[in-house]
Chain A
Amino acid sequence: DIVMTQSPSSLAMSVGQKVTMSCKSSQSLLNSSNQKNYLAWYQQKPGQSPKLLVYFASTRESGVPDRFIGSGSGTDFTLTISSVQAEDLADYFCQQHYSTPPTFGGGTKLEIK
């Protein structure tokens, strides 16, 4: 199984600051036939279900604010929140769907100062 490692496990930021979180996979998620990285990011607010933010590493899901930016390729990926808002308080998970079973990272908890 592909192991997904997220860092940091938690961070606390002030409104308006830029936030970056990392996700690393134990093997490449790049499909050479279509040049797509099979990596998704999800946001889970307290008491809610996960919500898809980004897929194929950098494609923002419809309706997701453009302050959420996914980047990276191969084994190293980043989710950036360009200017964090109070409502971004949540856990963030990365997930690979390059191979079965799909696997998730342990999550990054974002707290707002």
Chain B
Amino acid sequence: EVQLQQSGPELVKPGASVKISCKASGYTFTDYNMHWVKQSHGKSLEWIGYIYPYNGGTGYNQKFKSKATLTVDNSSSTAYMELRSLTSEDSAVYYCARMVYAMDYWGQGTSVTVSS
């Protein structure tokens, strides 16, 4: 059974960074792109970027290029997203999702709250 298990909720101060993890199981991690999606205000979805674990290749939404960095650890089948210089606009739920023809499996989401 394919599963994507994300790390727990984060409360961070403005200006700080946070690193979210997404541990994959039930499939060959290096065979599929891993995408990251932001959901703000409980509604709208925005694509942040993707990483191809096989070679570490990445692609980013221009809007998030200076905000997010995607990495992987193939030894543990885990994808990571680091968000930096956080502001209140970054408060949201962040999802990892495996993509084949579409995003067929999603993590449970990680809530990030930016507050002093």
Contact = CB atoms under 8 A, between A and B. Distances in A.
B45 interface: yes
Contacts, number: 49
Given A93-B45, A97-B99, 12 more contacts: A42-B103, A49-B109, A52-B103, A95-B45, A95-B102, A101-B47, A102-B47, A104-B44, A104-B45, A106-B43, A106-B44, A107-B43
Contacts of A59: 101
Contacts of A93: 45
Contact of B106 (A50, A61, A100): A50
Contacts of A40: 101-103
A56 B101 CA distance: 8
A49 B44 contact: no
B102 to A, nearest CB: 4
Interface of B: 35, 43-47, 59, 61-62, 95, 97, 99, 101-104, 106-109
Interface string A56-99: 10010100000000000000000000000000000101010100
A97 B44 contact: no
Nearest to B105: A52
Interface in A4-31: none
A106 B104 CA distance: 19
